[in-house]
Amino acid sequence: MATKKVAAKKAPARKAPAKKKAAPKKSALELLAAAGVIHPDHVAKHDPKKLKKLSPAEVATLIKIRKKLGPLTSSEEPLSPNFPV
C-alpha cells in the first residue's frame, strides 16, 4: 500500500515593509553651498558644468576639506573656495 505524501503548508507570505519616500537628490552645487564650500552668491564665478560632473566621492572630499579648514570668514568669502574646484 502506497502512502500519500502530504504537501507541507507554506507560511503565509510576509508583506514587504512600506518604502519610505526618498528625499529629492541634491545636486553637487547644492551640497557644496550647504556645507559652506561655495558661497551661494558666488556660484557664477565657478564653472557650474564642472560642478555637475563631480562624483559623490569628490563632493564628499571637498566637504571634508572645508570642515578641516574651518568656516570662511567674511574677508575670505570672495576667495571661496580657497582650494581648487
Residue extents of the structural domains in the chain = 28-71
Q: How many Å apart are CA 38 and CA 70, to the nearest integer?
A: 13
pTM summary value: 0.57
Mean pLDDT of the chain: 75
Q: What pLDDT is attached to residue 29?
A: 85
Residue 77, pLDDT score: 57
- As a whole number, mean pLDDT of residues 45-74 equals 83
Query: Which residues, including other chains, have CB under 8 Å from residue 29's CB and lie 6 or more apart?
Result: 38, 43, 48, 51, 52
Catalogue the E-assigned strands of 1-85: none
Please give the average per-residue pLDDT across 15-36, as a whole number. 79
∠ at Cα 63 (70, 81), nearest 5°? 65
Q: Is the Cβ–Cβ distance between 56 and 63 less than 8 Å? A: no
